[in-house]
Each structure stands twice: as structure tokens, then as C-alpha cells.
Amino acid sequence: MTRVLVLNGPNLGRLGSREPEVYGAATLDDLAALCRDTGRRLDLSVDVRQTDDEAELIRWVHEAADERLPIVLNPAAFTHYSYGLRDALAQRTAPLVEVHISNPAAREEFRHTSVVAGVATGTIAGFGMMSYVLALQAVAELLAESPRDS
């Protein structure tokens, strides 16, 4: 069973209470359960993490690169300005799917640019929590097509 890191950036620990009109009522625990259940169906071992700390997120990305682990990443606000995160992600050694609950392109203009997208395998956005399910399905398909290739 392939291990996959599902990494979440700042403020996603506040899911369920943060702007429910944008992010819905599901909590981070609900999201983690959804990802783990989806992973089991896809023969993936899913490790869900969240941090508000950019340095910690970068350490997790380094861990994934060193261990050749696929990543599903919601960089949240770091999407738009964290070149340190982008540079860490450029070292990836397995598929990387950028994911967003809302559609950044349909929101404020500052959210329209992702510094992460250019180093990701692909991006899935705007489908609520289903974005994570779709991202995990994409990872499973990519692994089946070419195991351990990015």
C-alpha cells in the first residue's frame, strides 16, 4: 500500500467555522476521515496533516521528497506567495496534486496566481471536499500508470 501525504496549510484547521459559505461546514477531522476512507478504497495509506507554520510544511515536503511519497497539497494562503514552499516542492520525487476547496480563480484577484501550480503534476479546485477525493484518485491513477514516477 502506497503512503500518500495530504498536507494542508494555514487556517484549514478552522474548517467548519471559517467562512462556511466558502468552505462548507465539514471540519478538518471530517476531511481527514474522507481522505483516509478514499485512500483505503484506492489502496493508499493516507496521512493527513495540517499546519499554520510554513517551515513545518516545508519540512513535510522534504520528508515526502526523501521518501518518494506522493503529495496532495492544499497550500492555502501559501499558494500565492511562498517561494520557499514552491522551491521545496520542485524537489518532489513523486506525483504532487495541488488542491483547493474553493475555486481561487472565482475569488479575489490576489488568489488567481499560484506559485505552486508550476511544479505540481496538476491542480484540482472548486469542488469542495470532493477536490481531495479527485486528487487522491488522480494520484492512484498516476501511480498505476508509472509506479514511482512523477
**Does 62 show up as a binding residue in the annotation?**
no
**Does 102 show up as a binding residue in the annotation?**
yes
**Does 29 show up as a binding residue in the annotation?**
no
**Does 111 show up as a binding residue in the annotation?**
yes
Phi first, then psi: what are they for 47, rounded to 5°?
-110, 110
The span from the CA of 68 to the CA of 52, in Å, is: 24
Q: Pick the catalytic residue from 62, 100, 112, 132.
A: 100
The span from the CA of 69 to the CA of 103, in Å, is: 26
Q: Pick the catalytic residue from 23, 62, 83, 132.
A: 23
81 part of the active site: no
Q: Are 55 and 63 in contact (CB under 8 A)?
A: no
Owner of C-alpha cell 493527513: 48
Pairing of strands 44-50, 71-74: unpaired
SS3 18: coil
Pairing of strands 71-74, 2-8: parallel
Residue 9: CB atoms within 10 Å: 23
23 part of the active site: yes
Q: Give the active site residues.
A: 23, 100
Annotated binding site for substrate: 74, 80, 87, 101-102, 111
Annotated binding site: 74, 80, 87, 101-102, 111
